[in-house]
Chains A and B, each alone.
Chain A
């Protein structure tokens, strides 16, 4: 049997020097995911430069047009440029997704740490509360709360954050249960270290990685969820563009033109796919149980 050792390219050598991300980029799916996420972030950051028109500028005589030189993706029912609205819609997706996941992550970590480390009745109460929230499907919970608070982006973020807390809290709690059995925690405790120090300096840093990966993988789910709420009229207010609103408005005029739904739907699919591929690859790279399978 003959073994051939291929020399590593300059690019690969360069990527090898970048921890984690370099490894993600050396995997085709990871690279594709990263590329999509990167383009998404470019759209978010440079929306005013990239968008050819003001997203709210109406041009009634040009309404419901298909793609053309003037409007690359066509126009909506008020003659607004669809490309500009989709580019600006990426901002709403990110503005809704990142704070929502952050609220869920922070809330979940706090509750999970309390439940997992203190245990006893505190654990019981937290678990009951989390189970109660979890018992409601996220959409129903969101609809109920938004009906009470009224539709707005801030309320939408709060609702999504609340709906996602139980997931993070449960993972944190399980991780804490496992971590508190470790010798380094036992050693700290026997040395008389206070609980706060043990939790913040020893347990939390050791359980953070899987939670961050979970957060990265939740981003696309939350983006889709936000689009769903906006589709139902429970998200941002007009004329702010959200992909869900473009879908909803496009739905009303689908008989006249399919383009708004096509573009908004495709954007949503591709973005979700990009975040998922990136998150999955990141998980593979960071998960110690999969170390042996790297670059398989």
Chain B
């Protein structure tokens, strides 16, 4: 006789079930064998590969590469780009005169047939490839576009965030439709390393930018590259399509889909589920992917620098002794252990090891609670409430919770303010930036020390200098470093700058870290030596 399942009966069964579950969970763990047991004699189950309903093979669909971004795009304009995500997407669409080749820092001609610098370093003469077409029917690339693209950076009205990349540009001279000269006021040391081959060297379509304005251009770009910017679904997907008129080798993918996934763990699940072909993973997950059956792992040393920044203009943090107290209170090794499972090295200074200007004798501030308390007492602070703005990821939440506990011990009450990526990257901008107190900083970098120091000049206060620290001496050295062509001399300049940075005590260095990526064996990834994805060079395996 069938028994009717009433709500009461269901609750009875659920109650007993939960009790059994709880008892089971509380039961002691069975002792594990000291060595891996041999496989059971039972043969493996037949594979569960689904059989297609018909014998006719399905027609091959478009070849799509799916790349995970760690956040959505925000501004693709070379003058105002915000994160590495913008660069990774924009490089598939817009090209420069020269670019880094795949998996290297070797320069390759992209839009030029030839390019050469004069001996005094003040003139770079180039000849463009002929017949290069802009996307969407905007005509042919000419020297006029090159002039427009580079002179935008020094336009005082535009106030380009990356103006420093072209700090010594005087003008671009047009010789004819395809030939021109870049004229510099002074020699510029990073030009060939971190200006021309990166997004600041990208050529934009003058006609298009003037037609649509910079606001639309920020998220809808036109270029000459292998892929056309097709569609942007905010927080979901960016779709690029093959450029059928591309001047170089035919692009290997019909489409590239960039999928923003902020949290590394979620991205790892997406990669394992086959929803993305290429994704960065968290450092903590490296051991798990080392022998993964379906994904390959690649690790690269990172140039990115991560730090806890303190706004020196904020009334609560103006006293350097308060900032020093915070620096002594925060347990950086604990952060490295908890957030990176001990897999990341501690960062001591701004410029990473291996690059010109790395300060190898930089001091390491070990945790000293008594000293921190004494500094606070000296500053006349008995209790302090501070806010810590962080990107809402496991990594930064871990930083913040450890800092919160550390600072509590010296009488500082830290409120953690987790924010999504887009909101976070706006907090230091303009007047609103004055309200920032503590923040989790992490900036990408290119292989020239000027790229690290340029964000902390007085001009960058309210742009990217969220510490709002302004040192004329630092600025002067930065300018000197840009025009000094001798590497030994540059090395001294940048070390001096790092000393000033350290003395001002507005940053607590955490780690440069490593970049770890997983990718499908069906693709051949392309990544710079320091781990920046080059989606434009990725190919099917």
A: residues with CB less than 8 A from B are: 29, 32, 56-58, 60-61, 63, 66-67, 77-79, 233, 237-239, 249, 251-252, 255-256, 262-263, 266, 269-270, 273, 276-277, 280
Does A237 lie within 8 Å of B415, measured CB to CB? Answer: yes
**Hey, which chain A residues are within 8 Å of B14, CB to CB?**
273
Interface of B is mostly: helix
**Hey, which chain B residues are within 8 Å of A66, CB to CB?**
29
Q: Given that A60-B338, A238-B397, A255-B288 are known contacts, is A266 also in contact with B405, CB under 8 Å in the complex? A: no
Of the four ranges (under 10, 10 to 19, 20 to 34, 35 or more), the interface on chain B belongs to 20 to 34
Of all chain A residues, the one with the shortest Cβ separation from B392 is A233
Of all chain A residues, the one with the shortest Cβ separation from B416 is A238
> A159: shortest Cβ distance to chain B, in Å?
18
Q: Which of A32, A63, A77, A239 is B404 in contact with, Cβ under 8 Å?
A: A239
Q: Which of B18, B288, B394, B404 is A269 in contact with, Cβ under 8 Å?
A: B18
- Shortest 9 CB-CB distances between A and B: which pairs? A252-B394, A60-B334, A58-B405, A60-B337, A238-B401, A238-B416, A252-B265, A60-B338, A273-B18
Best-buried of B15, B21, B398 by chain A (most CB within 10 Å): B15
**Hey, which chain A residues are within 8 Å of B392, CB to CB?**
233
Does B22 lie within 8 Å of A270, measured CB to CB? Answer: yes
**Hey, which chain B residues are within 8 Å of A249, CB to CB?**
394, 397
> A266: shortest Cβ distance to chain B, in Å?
6
Best-buried of A66, A77, A263 by chain B (most CB within 10 Å): A77
Does B11 lie within 8 Å of A29, measured CB to CB? Answer: yes
- Residues 395-420 of B, flagged 1 when their CB comes within 8 A of A and 0 if not, give 00110111011001000000110100
Q: How far is the CA of A254 from the CA of B408 in the complex (A)?
A: 29
> B263: shortest Cβ distance to chain A, in Å?
8
Asked if B421 CB lies within 8 Å of chain A CBs, one says: no
Does A58 lie within 8 Å of B334, measured CB to CB? Answer: yes
Of all chain B residues, the one with the shortest Cβ separation from A280 is B11
Q: How far is the CA of A238 from the CA of B387 in the complex (A)?
A: 12
Q: How far is the CA of A265 from the CA of B14 in the complex (A)?
A: 15
Q: How far is the CA of A239 from the CA of B12 in the complex (A)?
A: 37
Does A56 lie within 8 Å of B405, measured CB to CB? Answer: yes
**Hey, which chain A residues are within 8 Å of B405, CB to CB?**
56-58, 78, 239
Q: How far is the CA of A233 from the CA of B400 in the complex (A)?
A: 14
Q: How far is the CA of A56 from the CA of B413 in the complex (A)?
A: 13
Q: How far is the CA of A91 from the CA of B393 in the complex (A)?
A: 26
Q: Given that A29-B12, A255-B285 are known contacts, is A266 also in contact with B22, CB under 8 Å in the complex? A: yes
Does B15 lie within 8 Å of A277, measured CB to CB? Answer: yes
Q: How far is the CA of A252 from the CA of B285 in the complex (A)?
A: 11
- Residues 1-32 of B, flagged 1 when their CB comes within 8 A of A and 0 if not, give 00000011001101100100110010001000
Q: How far is the CA of A179 from the CA of B171 in the complex (A)?
A: 86
Does B402 lie within 8 Å of A78, measured CB to CB? Answer: yes
**Hey, which chain B residues are within 8 Å of A270, CB to CB?**
18, 22
Does B416 lie within 8 Å of A237, measured CB to CB? Answer: yes
Does B416 lie within 8 Å of A78, measured CB to CB? Answer: no
**Hey, which chain A residues are within 8 Å of B284, CB to CB?**
256
> A39: shortest Cβ distance to chain B, in Å?
12
- Residues 431-470 of B, flagged 1 when their CB comes within 8 A of A and 0 if not, give 0000000000000000000000000000000000000000
Does B402 lie within 8 Å of A58, measured CB to CB? Answer: yes
**Hey, which chain A residues are within 8 Å of B21, CB to CB?**
266, 269
Q: Which of A239, A263, A266 is B401 in contact with, Cβ under 8 Å?
A: A239
Could you list 15 A-B pairs, sorted by A, with CB under 8 Å? A29-B8, A58-B401, A58-B405, A60-B334, A77-B398, A79-B338, A238-B416, A239-B405, A249-B394, A252-B263, A256-B284, A266-B21, A266-B22, A270-B18, A277-B15
**Hey, which chain A residues are within 8 Å of B12, CB to CB?**
29
Does A262 lie within 8 Å of B25, measured CB to CB? Answer: yes
Best-buried of A58, A262, A276 by chain B (most CB within 10 Å): A58
Q: How far is the CA of A235 from the CA of B287 in the complex (A)?
A: 32
Of all chain A residues, the one with the shortest Cβ separation from B22 is A266
> A288: shortest Cβ distance to chain B, in Å?
19
Q: How far is the CA of A273 from the CA of B288 in the complex (A)?
A: 36
Does A233 lie within 8 Å of B11, measured CB to CB? Answer: no
Of all chain A residues, the one with the shortest Cβ separation from B333 is A60
**Hey, which chain A residues are within 8 Å of B400, CB to CB?**
238
- Residues 157-190 of B, flagged 1 when their CB comes within 8 A of A and 0 if not, give 0000000000000000000000000000000000
Q: How far is the CA of A61 from the CA of B402 in the complex (A)?
A: 13
- Residues 258-271 of B, flagged 1 when their CB comes within 8 A of A and 0 if not, give 00000101000000
- Residues 300-329 of B, flagged 1 when their CB comes within 8 A of A and 0 if not, give 000000000000000000000000000000
> B382: shortest Cβ distance to chain A, in Å?
21
> A260: shortest Cβ distance to chain B, in Å?
13
> B110: shortest Cβ distance to chain A, in Å?
41
**Hey, which chain A residues are within 8 Å of B338, CB to CB?**
60, 63, 77-79
> B443: shortest Cβ distance to chain A, in Å?
24
**Hey, which chain A residues are within 8 Å of B334, CB to CB?**
58, 60
| Supplied contacts A78-B398, A249-B397, A276-B11, 4 more A-B pairs, CB within 8 Å | A63-B338, A77-B398, A252-B265, A269-B21
Q: How far is the CA of A67 from the CA of B402 in the complex (A)?
A: 23
> B150: shortest Cβ distance to chain A, in Å?
41
> A271: shortest Cβ distance to chain B, in Å?
10
Of all chain B residues, the one with the shortest Cβ separation from A274 is B15
Of all chain A residues, the one with the shortest Cβ separation from B393 is A252
**Hey, which chain A residues are within 8 Å of B397, CB to CB?**
238, 249
Q: How far is the CA of A263 from the CA of B8 in the complex (A)?
A: 26
> B254: shortest Cβ distance to chain A, in Å?
34
**Hey, which chain B residues are within 8 Å of A280, CB to CB?**
7-8, 11
Q: How far is the CA of A251 from the CA of B416 in the complex (A)?
A: 20
**Hey, which chain A residues are within 8 Å of B404, CB to CB?**
238-239
Q: Which of B401, B408, B418 is A233 in contact with, Cβ under 8 Å?
A: B418
**Hey, which chain A residues are within 8 Å of B11, CB to CB?**
29, 273, 276-277, 280
Does A32 lie within 8 Å of B15, measured CB to CB? Answer: yes
Does B401 lie within 8 Å of A78, measured CB to CB? Answer: yes
Of all chain B residues, the one with the shortest Cβ separation from A252 is B394
Of all chain B residues, the one with the shortest Cβ separation from A63 is B338
> A272: shortest Cβ distance to chain B, in Å?
10
Of all chain B residues, the one with the shortest Cβ separation from A267 is B22
Does A29 lie within 8 Å of B22, measured CB to CB? Answer: no
**Hey, which chain A residues are within 8 Å of B22, CB to CB?**
266, 270
Q: How far is the CA of A70 from the CA of B11 in the complex (A)?
A: 35
Q: How far is the CA of A238 from the CA of B418 in the complex (A)?
A: 10
> A105: shortest Cβ distance to chain B, in Å?
23
> A78: shortest Cβ distance to chain B, in Å?
6
Of all chain B residues, the one with the shortest Cβ separation from A54 is B405
**Hey, which chain A residues are within 8 Å of B401, CB to CB?**
58, 78, 238-239
Q: How far is the CA of A18 from the CA of B408 in the complex (A)?
A: 49
Q: How far is the CA of A276 from the CA of B12 in the complex (A)?
A: 11
> B325: shortest Cβ distance to chain A, in Å?
20
Best-buried of A61, A239, A262 by chain B (most CB within 10 Å): A239
Which residues B83-111 have CB closer than 8 A to chain A?
none
Q: How far is the CA of A273 from the CA of B29 in the complex (A)?
A: 26
Best-buried of A233, A238, A262, A269 by chain B (most CB within 10 Å): A238
**Hey, which chain B residues are within 8 Å of A266, CB to CB?**
18, 21-22, 25
Q: Which of B15, B265, B416 is A29 in contact with, Cβ under 8 Å?
A: B15
Best-buried of B18, B21, B22, B415 by chain A (most CB within 10 Å): B18
Q: How far is the CA of A249 from the CA of B405 in the complex (A)?
A: 17
